[in-house]
């Protein structure tokens, strides 16, 4: 396994969102750690944030493709997601041209193309071994593939609060990602179209950023639906923090001054936004909890940022002894800090895996997309999270009160059983990527296929 195959070159192309680029860059680093050269394709906008770990900079080249949206155009509304999906369709031809140009320049073809399966296309470059990559939960992939069936049977589009019978493909509405709770037929049509790529005969295998300890049954279910082998390779984590020096990070310095396990870290990822009213309830709940907090407030976190500017300025002043508010944090480093005792999270799949990896219990507040599925894993399956409210777990956009925030933070920080269960989940995640673990052996299979230039089951 540790043999270096410097001649093997792989192209990776990521869907233009942080939640996709981060795990795919970590996969690139994992392959580079085994001596494989990677050309990492992303959108022009995301190129600047696609940073390999320092140790692998020489083996990973980053290339920007025309297309995709920028951070200011991105948010979690269905319209914005539809825009990013539409934009991503346009990235195919530029990608194919860049692949051919890179191959020409290097005098050798790529041994493998690893393509984010969120794109609705596979590259039409002949005679290449193509592996798909799935950045979300395995459960979500299964729903994508079964969407035509769910629509044909009349279960979707969802009619208001209507629940599916538990017998319908084993799914109740509660187990279906929020994104598909839509009554909008156009959104569903587009999801069906995008989901079809998972069934594409040109995909030799599908790599999953998941691990057996988290989704074993789901992986088996997905395998029964897909024509190609499904390989869990996760959780994909950074091996270093892109060389960010500890002393240069204000958050870490601030955390160093706090008591062990006393801080609630609050972050809603890169896309989620809330109303001004919800933002204020959250802030006031944090304040009244009396806990120390580190809160990521992105410039696009509030629907209408200007409505909360004065409130935020006063809040900042009032709580400066207890809290730190930043626009961006190096999340993995924050979660690894011993002062962090709880993660108030929107439960994006990456955030969920990063919490599990770091052993930090989650106060689960799913907002959109498939975050309700992740939250249910945390709360019901792994017992490593507690819901901000039962209503918020069941329905997107429910207003959460300051009291619910206050109580959730207080009890989440105190709850030793959550911490214990999270440690168990964390152990399973780490074992999966160690020699002998299921994700480790998937990477071994992938590397063998890359060496051979084709997949053989």
CA torsion, ordered 136, 237, 55, 32, to nearest 10 deg: -50
Does residue 234 touch ligand UDP according to CB under 6 A? Answer: no
Nearer to ligand UDP, 232 or 269 (CB): 269
Give catalytic status of residue 247 as yes or no. no
Which x/- pattern over 245-264 shows residues binding ligand UDP (rule: CB under 6 A)? --------------------
Residue with tokens 């507690």: 386
Can you name the residues that pair with 295 across neighbouring β-strands? 266, 325
385, 418 contact by CB (below 8 A) = yes
Instruction: Check: CB of residue 148 under 8 Å from CB of residue 47.
Output: no
E-strand ranges in 135-221 read 205-208
Q: Cβ(236)–Cβ(432) under 8 Å? A: no
Nearer to ligand UDP, 16 or 64 (CB): 16
Q: Which of 59, 271, 291, 375 binds ligand UDP (CB under 6 A)?
A: 271
Q: Does 349 bind ligand UDP (CB under 6 A)?
A: yes
* Binding of ligand UDP by 116 (CB under 6 A): no
Q: Closest by alpha carbon to 56, among 41, 80, 40?
A: 40
Q: Which stretch binds ligand UDP (CB under 6 A): 13-21, 96-104, 302-310, 416-424?
A: 13-21
Q: Closest approach of Cβ 341 to ligand UDP, in Å?
A: 18
Query: What does the DSSP assignment read for 244-256?
Result: --GGG-HHHHHHH
Options 57-65, 244-252, 269-277, 414-422: segment touching ligand UDP (CB under 6 A): 269-277
> Binding of ligand UDP at residue 16 (CB under 6 A)?
no
Of 354, 370, 404, 415, the residue at the interface with ligand UDP (CB under 6 A) is 354
Q: Which is nearer to ligand UDP, 32 or 297 (CB)?
A: 297
Q: Check 5, 18, 20, 200 and give the catalytic one.
A: 20
Cα within 13 Å of Cα(146), Cβ side: 22
Question: Strand 263-267 relative to strand 385-387: parallel, antiparallel, unpaired?
Answer: unpaired
> Beta-carbon neighbour count of residue 275 at 10 Å?
15
Nearest approach, Cβ of residue 258 and ligand UDP (Å) = 18
Smaller CB separation from ligand UDP, 123 or 269: 269
> Does 67 contact ligand UDP by CB under 6 A?
no
Q: Which two tokens stand for residue 212?
A: 């057996």
Distances (CA, A) of 411 to 67, 255, 419: 45, 21, 12
- Min separation Cβ 298 and ligand UDP, Å: 7
How far apart are CB 37 and ligand UDP at their closest, in Å?
24
- Site size with ligand UDP, rule: CB under 6 A: 20
* 18 near ligand UDP (CB under 6 A): yes
Does 366 participate in binding ligand UDP (rule CB under 6 A)? no
Report d(CA 38, CA 56) in Å as an integer. Answer: 10
- Of the pair 155, 293, the CB lying nearest ligand UDP is at 293
Residue 429 engages ligand UDP in binding (rule: CB under 6 A) = no
Give yes or no for residue 270 binding ligand UDP (CB under 6 A). Answer: yes
Smaller CB distance to ligand UDP: residue 85 or 296? Answer: 296
Name the segment binding ligand UDP (CB under 6 A); options: 48-56, 281-289, 327-335, 429-437.
327-335
Least Å distance, CB 332 to ligand UDP, is 6
Please tell me whether residue 296 binds ligand UDP under the rule CB under 6 A. yes
Give the residue among 94, 102, 98 at the shortest CA–CA distance from 121.
Answer: 94
* CB-based burial label for 48 (10 Å; 0-12, 13-18, 19+): exposed
Q: What is the CA radius of gyration of the chain?
A: 22
- Confirm if 130 and 122 have CB atoms less than 8 A apart: yes
Q: Considering only residues 9, 10, 12, 22, which one is a binding residue for ligand UDP as defined by CB under 6 A?
A: 22
Write down the residue that tokens 């906008």 correspond to: 45
181 binds ligand UDP (CB under 6 A): no
350 binds ligand UDP (CB under 6 A): yes
Beta strand segments in 197-300, E = 205-208, 230-232, 263-267, 292-296
Q: By CB under 6 A, which span of 8-16, 37-45, 53-61, 265-273 interacts with ligand UDP?
A: 265-273
Residue entry with tokens 């429910």: 398
Listed ranges 118-126, 253-261, 270-278, 441-449: which one lies at the site for ligand UDP (CB under 6 A): 270-278
Give 39 or 350: the residue with its C-beta nearer to ligand UDP.
350
CA distance 385 to 374: 10
Does position 204 interact with ligand UDP (CB under 6 A)? The reply is no
Tokens of 277: 């009213």
Binding status of residue 351 toward ligand UDP by CB under 6 A: yes
- Within 319-415, residue ranges assigned H as helices are 331-335, 349-358, 371-376, 390-394, 402-414
Q: Which residues bind ligand UDP (CB under 6 A)?
A: 17-19, 22, 267, 269-272, 296, 328-332, 348-351, 354
Question: Which residues are annotated as catalytic?
Answer: 20
């Amino acid at each position: 396994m540790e043999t270096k195959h410097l001649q093997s070159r792989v192209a990776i192309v990521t869907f233009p969102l942080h939640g996709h680029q981060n795990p795919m860059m970590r996969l690139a680093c994992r392959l580079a750690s085994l001596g494989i050269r990677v050309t990492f394709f992303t959108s022009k906008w995301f190129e600047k944030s696609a940073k390999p770990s320092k140790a692998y900079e020489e083996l990973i080249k980053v290339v920007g493709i025309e297309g995709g949206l920028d951070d200011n155009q991105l948010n979690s509304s269905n319209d914005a997601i539809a825009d990013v999906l539409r934009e991503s369709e346009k990235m195919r031809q530029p990608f194919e041209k860049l692949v051919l140009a890179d191959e020409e320049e290097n005098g050798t073809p790529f041994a493998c193309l690893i393509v984010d399966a969120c794109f609705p296309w596979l590259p039409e470059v002949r005679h290449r071994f193509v592996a798909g990559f799935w950045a979300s939960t395995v459960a979500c992939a299964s729903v994508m593939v079964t969407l035509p069936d769910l629509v044909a049977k009349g279960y979707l589009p969802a009619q208001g609060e209507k629940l599916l019978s538990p017998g319908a493909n084993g799914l109740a509405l509660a187990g279906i990602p929020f994104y598909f709770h839509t009554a909008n037929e156009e959104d569903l049509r587009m999801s069906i179209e995008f989901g079809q790529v998972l069934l594409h005969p040109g995909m030799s295998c599908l790599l999953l950023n998941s691990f057996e300890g988290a989704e074993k049954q789901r992986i088996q279910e997905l395998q029964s639906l897909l024509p190609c082998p499904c390989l869990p390779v996760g959780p994909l984590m950074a091996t270093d923090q892109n060389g960010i020096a500890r002393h240069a990070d204000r958050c870490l310095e601030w955390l160093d001054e706090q008591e062990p396990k006393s801080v609630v870290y609050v972050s809603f990822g890169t896309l989620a936004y809330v109303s001004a009213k919800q933002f204020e309830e959250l802030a006031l709940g944090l304040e009244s909890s009396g806990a120390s907090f580190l809160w990521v407030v992105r410039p696009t976190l509030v629907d209408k940022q200007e409505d909360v500017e004065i409130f935020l300025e006063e809040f900042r002043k009032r709580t400066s002894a207890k809290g730190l508010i930043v626009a961006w944090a190096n999340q993995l480093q924050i979660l690894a800090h011993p002062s962090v005792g709880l993660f108030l999270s929107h439960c994006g799949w990456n955030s969920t895996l990063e919490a599990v990896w770091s052993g930090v219990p989650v106060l689960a507040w799913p907002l959109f997309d498939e975050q309700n599925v992740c939250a249910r894993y945390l709360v019901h399956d792994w017992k490593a999270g507690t819901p901000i409210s039962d209503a918020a777990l069941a329905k997107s956009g429910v207003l959460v009160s300051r009291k619910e925030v206050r109580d959730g933070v207080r009890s989440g920080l105190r709850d030793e059983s959550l911490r214990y269960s999270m440690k168990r989940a964390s152990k399973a995640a780490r074992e999966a990527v160690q020699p002998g673990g299921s994700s480790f052996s998937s990477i071994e299979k992938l590397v063998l296929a890359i060496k051979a230039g084709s997949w053989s089951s």
